Copies of this chain bind each other. A is one copy, B any other.
Amino acid sequence: MVGLLQQIRQTIRRERLLPPGARVLVALSGGADSVALTHVLLELSEHGGFSVVALAHFNHQLRPTANRDEEFCRSLASGLGLDFEVERADVAGYARSQRLSVEDAARRLRYAFLERTAGRRGADHVAVGHTLDDQAETVLLKLIRGAGPTGLGGISPRKGLIVRPLLEVTKQDLTAYLSDRGIGWMEDETNGDLANPRNRLRQVGLPELERTYPGATRAIARAGDSVRTDAEWLDRTADTLFRAVTHETATGLELDAVRLTAEPRAIVRRVLLMALRVVGGHREIGLDHIRAAEDVLDRSCGGTDVPGARLELQREKLVLSKAGALLK
């Protein structure tokens, strides 16, 4: 328990999450993580020179306890003398109409609500309660589901307005902090549903790993941080090269194969991924497609079909033609 506040302060400082003067909207679900986030940020705000402008609760209307949770958050805010923002949405209906998973739909609507509310309240930061456990789960899930060539990195501590000050502390530390201070929270009863892959990993997989290899959760979360740090720079470098070697044609894209071949494989793979995504529309690009493109580039293979396009080496150009483009 000692060191929880210090660890969070360190994360905030190192990742430059909340500079002096920052106005923070805190996302509050009513669960232990976000209740702790609220209290911790209030504790740190004076010395840190930032302020909590309001608590924001998004009512997904998915669970029987949704309204109980909303009421809990409302009284938490009022007890702390903080403004309370709330919105209800028909997440299930939105998921159906947009053909999204309920999880995806909930995330989109929730973040849209948070950013809209931040704008209205003049908040320049939105703090959300992801923890080191969430980070480890995300990294493991990406790993075992096949994250593709560039997607293994974990949750970012900041993205746009969103900041995640709890990303280096465990849920266990947070509940201990709350219990120590006699602060209550709402349990999410759906966390027990083991049909959900993330829940199964959280309830069974990670605890089992942690028993066998003490420290595994933290190690996995940190590896995600390292890989993300690496990937961010590689993506930026590849993006610059992509702009330099690519130009649009009537039927798709042409890439300068000579310049591309001179670059390291880590960068070439990312440039090929970007090109395949551009010509493939929203189709999913996998490592197999990137490898097939690499084979064309190094002349092991004359041409290949990739999602939504045909790829060929023509003299010193890698030519990507959108499917059907030549027939029009």
| Any B CB within 8 A of the CB of A267 | yes
Contact sample, A vs B, 20 pairs, CB 8 Å cutoff: A14-B294, A139-B143, A143-B219, A143-B223, A144-B216, A145-B216, A146-B215, A146-B223, A150-B226, A200-B212, A205-B209, A226-B269, A226-B287, A227-B227, A229-B269, A230-B231, A230-B234, A233-B234, A233-B266, A234-B266
Closest residue of chain B to A265 (Cβ to Cβ) is B229
| Any B CB within 8 A of the CB of A13 | yes
| Any B CB within 8 A of the CB of A147 | yes
Copies of this chain, whole number: 2
A window 142-157: CB within 8 A of B: 142-147, 149-150, 152
- Apart from A144-B219, A234-B234, 7 more pairs, CB < 8 Å: A143-B220, A145-B213, A222-B287, A229-B265, A230-B230, A233-B234, A236-B264
Contact flag A144-B220 (CB < 8 Å), given A265-B229, A266-B232, A300-B14 = yes
Q: Could you tell me the dominant secondary structure of chain A's interface residues?
A: helix
Q: Is the CB of B233 within 8 A of A267?
A: yes
Q: How far is the CB of A209 from chain B (nearest CB, A)?
A: 6
Choose one: B197, B200, B220, B265; the contact of A233 (CB below 8 Å).
B265
Interface size on A, residues (CB 8 A): 44
* A233 CA to B262 CA, complexed, in Å: 13
Contact flag A219-B291 (CB < 8 Å), given A229-B269, A231-B230 = no
* A209 CA to B236 CA, complexed, in Å: 33
Residues of B within 8 A of A216 (CB): 144-145
Contacts from A to B (Cβ < 8 Å): 13-14, 139, 142-147, 149-150, 152, 197, 200, 205, 209, 212-213, 215-216, 218-220, 222-223, 226-227, 229-234, 236, 264-267, 269, 287, 291, 294-295, 300
Residues of B within 8 A of A223 (CB): 142-143, 146-147, 152
